[in-house]
A and B are shown apart, each in its own frame.
Chain A
Amino acid sequence: MNLWISAVGQGLLYGVLGIGLFITFRILDFPDMTVEGTFPFGAAVAVSAITHGVSPIIATLLAMVAGMLAGLCTGLLATKGHMPLLIAGILTMTGLYSINLRVMGRANLSLLNQANLFTSKLLGGMSMFTSSVVVGVIVTVIVVVLLILFLNTEIGQGFIAAGDNRVMARSLGINPDSMQVLGLVVGNGLIGLSGGLIAQNNGYADVSMGTGVIVIGLASIIIGEVIFGNLTLSQRLVAVVLGSIIYRFVILIVLKLGFNADDLKLISAIVLALAIIVPQIDERLHLRKALKNGVKMDE
């Protein structure tokens, strides 16, 4: 039972990563590779801060600020440096590897015997599994509510428009480059926050913990879209979090079936590939069926 509760908790915490990626991947419509550097950056900053005596809440906020700075770096490289976003993201991600080593002073930093957000007295001595769900729910609700409020403001609407149609946005006086930087800052801030939370939940930060997180984020987004179908933008944010929890269940089931934990990244990639391919096959089959029925009716 604890494993299932833990999967919900991890799903919620990774859901914040999914929402961060959703902002760039779905709203602004470009792939942001910074994610794989930002996630361990948030983890490294949070764990290092805690080991230096900073309170876990402040350390978690610092992880978010670190992520925002990484997003700002990618944004400025892309807009002021006039380079493709993919390259800008890869450059920041690569640079962050060294920065993460500097922040932690080594490749892996443990939180052994250190208080963290999940062992906080405020949670009244809950088990680590339950506290991950409680913290996950609180953080997710705050993030989703704030984002929905933001997306419904004038600037939030300009932000969506810039991702939807750059030419139109410019003709209305909206600077799409500024919106791109804003999206990268907010998105990577959330990814840094998720990294900081996951590191505290796992009890350590590792310089390689970013490898493959973009697949986890994309899987959350796509599983949410496949299962919940056509939704409003606000509802889609919730679907990303639910998609992240479902993804954790799928991984848990796969591991329970006896697969080796070393194969987890391969399994993650296969889960994402299936989530993208299966609905396409389903759609083609439905179309074929509909066409067949149509021909019969004519006859």
Chain B
Amino acid sequence: MSDVQLQLTDIAVNVMAGSDVKNLLSGINLTVNKGDFVTIIGTNGAGKSTLFNTICGDLLATSGTIELAGERVEKDSPEKRARHIARVFQDPKMGTAPRMTVSENLALAMHRGKRLGLRSRALKQKQAEFLRISKQTPNGIDQALDKPTEELSGGQRQALSLLMATMQKPDLLMLDEHTAALDPHTSKAIMELTDKIVRENDLTCMMITHQMDDAIKYGNRLIVVDAGHIVADYSAEDKAKLNQADLLKYFA
């Protein structure tokens, strides 16, 4: 069985900007192996989120192929790709249903990528499992299982989004600046929780971040995106030798 979890080959994404064609991504070739934790940095507008949107299916690639866990998915809808991919967004409000309770959100996440049926949601039977999972978080989600998520703080919501994304062990976990909207203390706690969950479950993960220290500290690989291209790809050994100043040159 192949070790490759994600294979992007010659990916280009072009869009019309008025009467001109704009290249958002071009010549993207990327292989991510099982268990890799890839951190991604780049300036605003470099194409990091476009790359994520293309992998998730929110944007269709103009050309090239995307292979996920051995399946070609470049023509699949985002809903279909959810069988393989779980994503945590930058905005804590985007990852949860605000009027549904924490338990209801977790119950939905248990079915990620699966066909929903007319079976009862059986919340009560799942409560012990939800309690166990939510106790991993540092910010008291286990005390709020029956609360609507709109009553949670941003940090609690983001921790819940992370739990929801990982409880079914996705083939690829995509973290889109998921700590950027949080205060430094909460951001650190969520980042530590992320690292713990990724390690314990041996997940394959890609994480966009603007925190240079996080990009260096976490994961076993670092890539730099600029003007729609991957301009640098550091292995674990190279990454270990990096310091923040080395990376700041890409932001000049």
- A interface, CB within 8 angstroms of B: 150, 152-158, 160-161, 164-165, 167-175
B120 touches A155 (CB 8 A): no
Residues of B within 8 A of A173 (CB): 79-80, 82-83, 111-114
B116 touches A160 (CB 8 A): no
- Docked CA distance A165–B100 (Å): 10
Which segment of B6-14, B29-37, B91-99 sits at the interface?
B91-99
Q: In the complex, given contacts A161-B108, A165-B94, A174-B108, what are 14 additional A-B residue pairs having Cβ atoms less than 8 angstroms apart?
A: A153-B119, A157-B121, A158-B111, A161-B97, A164-B97, A168-B97, A171-B56, A171-B82, A172-B108, A172-B109, A172-B112, A173-B79, A173-B83, A173-B114
- Docked CA distance A150–B107 (Å): 16
CB of B118 within 8 Å of the partner chain: yes
For the complex of A and B, 4 pairs with smallest distance between CB atoms: A173-B82, A164-B97, A173-B113, A155-B116
Residues of A within 8 A of B153 (CB): none
Chain A CB within 10 Å, residue with most, of B83, B105, B114: B105
Chain B CB within 10 Å, residue with most, of A150, A167, A175: A167
A170 touches B118 (CB 8 A): no
22 chain-A/chain-B pairs, Cβ below 8 angstroms? A152-B120, A153-B119, A153-B120, A154-B116, A154-B119, A154-B120, A154-B121, A156-B121, A158-B116, A160-B97, A160-B104, A164-B100, A165-B93, A165-B97, A171-B82, A171-B89, A171-B95, A172-B109, A173-B112, A173-B113, A173-B114, A175-B77
A172 touches B82 (CB 8 A): yes
Residues of B within 8 A of A169 (CB): 97
CB distance from B75 to the nearest CB of A (A): 16
A154 touches B111 (CB 8 A): yes
Of A157, A164, A165, A167, which contacts B107 at CB under 8 A?
Answer: A157
- Docked CA distance A150–B93 (Å): 26
CB of B163 within 8 Å of the partner chain: no
- Docked CA distance A174–B97 (Å): 13
Of B79, B100, B109, B120, which contacts A160 at CB under 8 A?
Answer: B100
CB of B48 within 8 Å of the partner chain: no
Interface range on chain B (Cβ under 8 Å from partner):
20 to 34
B80 touches A168 (CB 8 A): no
CB distance from B50 to the nearest CB of A (A): 16
CB distance from A142 to the nearest CB of B (A): 17
A158 touches B89 (CB 8 A): no
CB of B86 within 8 Å of the partner chain: yes
CB distance from B209 to the nearest CB of A (A): 19
Residues of B within 8 A of A170 (CB): 78-79, 82
CB of B221 within 8 Å of the partner chain: no
CB distance from A122 to the nearest CB of B (A): 30
B100 touches A172 (CB 8 A): no
Query: What are the interface flags for B225-237 relative to A under an 8 Å C-beta threshold, 1 for contact and 0 otherwise?
Result: 0000000000000
Residues of B within 8 A of A155 (CB): 116-118
CB of B87 within 8 Å of the partner chain: yes
Docked complex: B99-135 residues within 8 A CB-CB of A? 99-100, 104-105, 107-109, 111-114, 116-121
